[in-house]
Amino acid sequence: MNYIVYIGNISIALAIGFCVFGMLLYFLGRKLENDTALAYARASVYANFVLMTLANLAMVHALLNDDFSVSYVAQVGSLETPRWISAISLWSSLAGSILFWGWILSAYSAVCIYFYREREQKIMCWVGITLLFVELFFFVLLALPSNPFIAVSPVPQNGPGPNPLLQNHWLMSIHPPFLYMGYIGFTIPFAFAIAAMIEQDLPGQWIEMTRRWALFAWSFLSMAIVLGGWWSYAVLGWGGYWAWDPVENASFMPWLAGTALVHSMIVQEKRKMLPVWNLILAVLTFLLTLLGTFLTRSGVLDSVHSFTESHVGPYFLIFMTVILATSLSLLLWQAPKFRNPGRVENIFSLEVLFLFNNLLFVSFCFVVFLGTIYPLVVEAVQGKRISIGQPYFNQMTIPIVGMMLLLMGIGLITPWRKTEAKAFVKAAQWPALLALLPLALCFVWGKTHPLVVGMITLASFAFFVMCIEMIQTARLRAQNRKSSCLAEFFRLFPDNPRRYGGFVAHFGALMIIVAVAISSSYAQDRMIILEKGQSASIGDYSLTFREIFGEDTPRRYEVKADVDVTSKGKSLGSLFPQSNYYSGRDEPIGSPAVRSTGVEDLYLTLLSFEKNGSKITLHAILTPAVVWIWIGGIVVMTGGFMALALGRKKKE
């Protein structure tokens, strides 16, 4: 048997053993208050990280060396695949992605246990048990239905290579790792929530211990969702970035619940309110990450994301049932003990706005959940295949997003406990007046679509509220410290990273919301048939078909159309929309060509062509503001990391 097969299977078997061993030692250590048992329990968590690292390195080695005697390599490897794509094939299919998942989970667990090794041992015992239990589930998947280290005999000479959709764009090298970092990161708040309920952590120390973990996971998941939209836009050829695809929704639902959690944690820290609500959100977010993984990996959905079909579905259903039953039992048993020491003193206060904010996020999550799950339920019960499309999601979610934008603005000028009407009006008047300027520009430029006008007005209000708050704070500090206002402006971020990192994240969210509203309202779409030398126009662009030609590369045959682009008489060069032909696949994979600017994207997809090269059919789409969605995603993630990396708030 191949030594890679030995290394992989022995690592997985030992990791399963260390999970059981560690859980037992944590339990005994907690019951007997034995430090030695706890030390060995922590060592089990670290050992699992070492073993999973070894198993992942062994698989990458096998992929890079085309070792087709290993089942996973025989499934996704090929001699023609470029080496960097072979390496990232680790997460291109079910068994490899579960293996990669196990490594990230073991890394999260090891870092968390090491970081808090000398704190709150009672809570940490149950945190350790919960993390090891989740690890045990994924390691059992690796040992049984998704074992990537099965020996293959006879050994094939070559393999099919990874799914062509996964090797058509470099974004696939970073989108899944970002998604896993986000998904798996929410295991930590879940573990602390379970531990807090068992140990009756009534002061809510678990909130202080997990806030950064939740923010870290949320930052990655935010960027992963944007990267997923970018990949869809750049690869699938339909010109959009979000289609309310069930698996897109599966990543969006835990983000919505996680966003509610990140916000409501602040209320418990500041006002000692919502302790049970935070426990529920931590459990809900984790369950939604499991649901997302189940939808993606079980094969129950027909989706561009369903790269694999397997037998892991029943395992996930059983595991989710166990997690749900355990969590609900603990909540019902312990929730009455988590009496709320904080109380609402005035209906118009920041804590109440946070509560509304949470209800909006959870409502949004429920709308998406209903639209995603309902077709599956109908198919399971009645055998009918139905789909819930964009009109449902848009009609249900656009009002919610509008209310979120409004709360984002007024929440920043609303104090804790009570708001004086006079002070609120004074704080709101300038942002409200300034928000009229972008509104006026919309009408001047003829952009009067109600969605765009509404979103820009609300987003502008929130934007100017944040800008004025920062400028006023910087001016006050400059007066007190006898320094320049500009210098104090930039010192705001390191001096109060939580608040101003949050501002940066909210700036990014505003960018995304406005860009989505504009791009979805003003896109132009044309099907164009061109003979050689003919031209057609879309917007201010003129497209001229020059020629079509083929190129043979080691991994595929590419057919490219040379389309000359001019705008207002000025040459902008050529775009080359293409179709890629992979061996063993009948249908080509399209690869659109995009000319992207800060204003708009010109997007060309080659739909068909005459074999003699005389005629092509193009799908041309002109979409404004798309690039700001990607930039907004980067800004959101940057804001999240600023709040994590810049340290604690300095006292004035």
The tens digit of pLDDT for each residue in 463-510 reads 999 999 999 999 999 999 888 998 999 899 888 888 899 999 999 999
Cα 460 from chain centroid (whole Å) = 26
Provide the pLDDT for residue 300. Answer: 67
Provide the pLDDT for residue 304. Answer: 44
Provide the pLDDT for residue 210. Answer: 93
The tens digit of pLDDT for each residue in 120-152 reads 778 999 999 999 999 999 999 999 999 999 999
Q: Using CB atoms within 10 Å of the CB of residue 100, give its burial: 0 to 12 exposed, 13 to 18 middle, 19+ buried.
A: buried
Of 486, 462, 349, nearest to 404 by C-alpha is 462
Q: Is the previous residue joined to 154 through a cis bond, with omega within 30 degrees of 0? A: yes
Provide the pLDDT for residue 305. Answer: 47
The tens digit of pLDDT for each residue in 398-410 reads 999 999 999 999 9
pTM, full prediction:
0.93
pLDDT greater than 90 at residue 100 = yes
What is the 3-state secondary structure of 373-404?
HHHHHHHHHHCCCCCCCHHHHHHHHHHHHHHH
Q: Where are the alpha helices (DSSP H) in 420-552?
A: 421-444, 450-481, 485-495, 497-521
Provide the pLDDT for residue 238. Answer: 86
pLDDT greater than 80 at residue 79 = yes
Average pLDDT over residues 437-448: 90
User: Which of 87-96, 199-208, 258-267, 571-580 has the least mean pLDDT?
Assistant: 199-208
Provide the pLDDT for residue 64. Answer: 96
Q: Give residue 175's identity as a one-letter amino acid code.
A: H
Provide the pLDDT for residue 622. Answer: 96
Provide the pLDDT for residue 296. Answer: 80
Of 135, 147, 65, nearest to 106 by C-alpha is 135
The two three-digit tokens of residue 350, written as one number? 């920041």
Query: What's the longest Cα–Cα distance across the chain?
Result: 84
The tens digit of pLDDT for each residue in 161-214 reads 888 877 778 888 899 999 999 999 999 999 999 999 999 887 788 998 999 999
Rounded to whole angstroms, the Cα distance separating 121 from 117 reads 8
Residues 150, 153, 155: CA angle, nearest 5 degrees: 100
Rounded to whole angstroms, the Cα distance separating 259 from 282 reads 11
The tens digit of pLDDT for each residue in 414-428 reads 988 888 888 889 889
Report percent pLDDT > 90 for the chain: 69
The tens digit of pLDDT for each residue in 555-605 reads 789 999 999 999 988 999 999 999 988 877 778 888 999 999 999 999 999
Confidence band (pLDDT; 50, 70, 90) for 299?
A: low
Residues facing 562 on adjacent strands: 547
The tens digit of pLDDT for each residue in 310-327 reads 678 889 999 999 999 999
Confidence band (pLDDT; 50, 70, 90) for 307?
A: very low
Average pLDDT over residues 286-304: 78
Tell me the three state secondary structure of residue 557: strand
Average pLDDT over residues 48-74: 96
Query: Could you count the other beta carbons within 10 Å of the beta carbon of residue 90?
Result: 24
Q: Using CB atoms within 10 Å of the CB of residue 168, give its burial: 0 to 12 exposed, 13 to 18 middle, 19+ buried.
A: buried
The tens digit of pLDDT for each residue in 360-388 reads 999 999 999 999 989 888 888 888 888 88
Rounded to whole angstroms, the Cα distance separating 28 from 24 reads 6
- Under a CB-based contact definition with an 8 Å cutoff, are residues 623 and 603 in contact? yes
Average pLDDT along the chain: 91
Q: What is the dihedral of CA 173, 214, 327, 137, to 10 degrees?
A: 30
Residues 283, 285, 291: CA angle, nearest 5 degrees: 105
